[in-house]
Amino acid sequence: MLQITDVTKTPTQVGIDTQDITAGSTVTGAELDRGADTAVEGVTALLTVTSYAAAPNATGYMRIALMPLDATGGTLFDDGIGVAVVPMNVNQRYDCAVQLTWPAGVRYLKVVLKNNTGQTANDVSVALRWQAVTV
């Protein structure tokens, strides 16, 4: 029998909670575990940026992804898959829901967020929501 459970990870659990991120910097969150014998469906990242030090570049954006680890505490494979780009080019609060994919065959991962706006982003947080499917 399949069981579907709604899972919520707070910004504190994700490891990106009200942080200031300088222009060009990358922030890596905490290790997350989908659980043994569990499939993950429909990952939604809730990205909040409260404000900027000054107006972001006209082509500014944040880059967010779920990046796999080869084992708990293992190597982070932080390039190439599942990247979402969120345009941010005005000095205002942003509350963005972003669809991401938990990499197939991967149990452990981290959220990786890069600030490509040209300005320091203030009080940045990321929460995650998904459905866990177990047998």
Q: Which of 135, 70, 66, 61 is nearest to 102 (CA)?
A: 66
Residue whose entry in the numeric block shows the structure tokens 């006209």: 58
The mean pLDDT of the chain is 94
Q: What pLDDT was estimated at residue 42? A: 85
Whole-Å CA distances, 103 to 71, 81, 94 = 13, 8, 26
Could you report the per-residue pLDDT of 30-67, keeping only the tens digit for each?
999 999 999 998 899 999 999 999 999 999 999 999 99
Rounded percentage of the chain residues whose pLDDT exceeds 70: 99
Residue 91 has pLDDT above 80, yes or no: yes
CATH of the domain at 29: 2.60.120.230
pTM of the model: 0.94
Q: Could you report the per-residue pLDDT of 104-114, keeping only the tens digit for each?
A: 889 999 999 99
pLDDT of residue 41: 86
Domains of the chain: total: 1
- What is the rounded CA–CA span in Å between residue 73 and residue 38? 19
DSSP alpha helices (H): ranges in 9-77? 11-14
Q: How far apart are the C-alpha atoms of 76 and 69, rounded to whole Å?
A: 5
Which residue range is the domain that position 101 belongs to?
A: 3-134
